Amino acid sequence: MPRISFFNGIKINIYTNEHPPPHFHAIYGKDEAMISISSLEIIKGNLKNSQYKKIRNWAINYQNALLRIFIELNPNLK
């Protein structure tokens, strides 16, 4: 389970053997959400709005890197 980042108590993970669309997992305490890399919208799960805003603001700066990592970890989805 590759951890991509950790900030403000938020864990960002991208897993291998995943499914489309390209996404990452954000975990804060007991809350977890799957977030689309392209739209940065929550696909599944729940986060407090304040945490989601922090994640979204962080992810805007790393969208290209997140997509590259997702593809590297899941080459079958190219």
**Rounded average pLDDT per 10-residue block, the chain, 78 residues:** 85 94 96 98 97 97 96 86
What are the residues whose beta carbons fall under 8 Å from the beta carbon of 13, sequence distance 6 or more?
Answer: 1, 2, 3, 4, 24, 25, 27
What pTM was computed for the model? 0.92
Per-residue pLDDT, 78: 60
Domain, as residue range, for 47 = 3-77
Number of domains composing the chain: 1
Encoded amino acid at 65, one letter: A
Q: What pLDDT, on the 0 to 100 scale, is given for residue 24?
A: 97
What pLDDT is recorded for position 77?
78
What was the pLDDT predicted at 4?
85
Whole-number pLDDT of residue 39: 98
